[in-house]
Amino acid sequence: MLQQLGFNWTFFIQFGIFIFAITFLALYVFKPYTDAAMAREDQTKGSEDLATDLEKKSVDLYGQYEKRAREVHSQIQDVYKSARSQVAQENEKIITAARSEALVVIEANRTKIKTSVSAAQAALKQEVPQIVQSLTQKLLGKH
């Protein structure tokens, strides 16, 4: 019955060649290929993990940067407000000093003006009789 199927002693030779070919291919072709594929997958997974870790670190660093930036901004605003209030106080002192100095100058000028007006009035009072006499002479035609 085996001979009717074409089964004879060449089957064993073909089976041996098949076993040899499978062993050779498994050791020298498939094994290096699978090792290279596994190494590449390990590197890829390692790179993905590294990329994920770097992304997490960058997010953490960005958060730290934002926090520090807010702190620096608040410090700058505190310094600005402090300087601004100091400038406002200094400005107020200068304006107050200028106003008081201006009041002193104005008062001194008023006093000078009053004395000048009084002196002018006194001088006019002395000259009024002469002016009146001179006007009357001109009106009467006495020259």
DSSP string computed for 93-128: HHHHHHHHHHHHHHHHHHHHHHHHHHHHHHHHHHHH
pLDDT band at 43 (very low <50, low <70, confident <90, very high): confident
What is the Cα–Cα distance from 45 to 34, expressed in whole angstroms? 16
Tokens of 126: 């002395």
Q: Which of 42-51, 109-118, 121-130 has the weakest average pLDDT?
A: 42-51
Q: Which of 71-75, 76-80, 84-88, 121-125 has the weakest average pLDDT?
A: 121-125
What is the Cα–Cα distance from 69 to 132, expressed in whole angstroms? 89
Contact 44, 52 (CB under 8 A): no
Q: Which of 49-53, 81-85, 98-102, 113-117 has the weakest average pLDDT?
A: 49-53
Average pLDDT of the chain is: 89
Which pTM value belongs to this model? 0.43
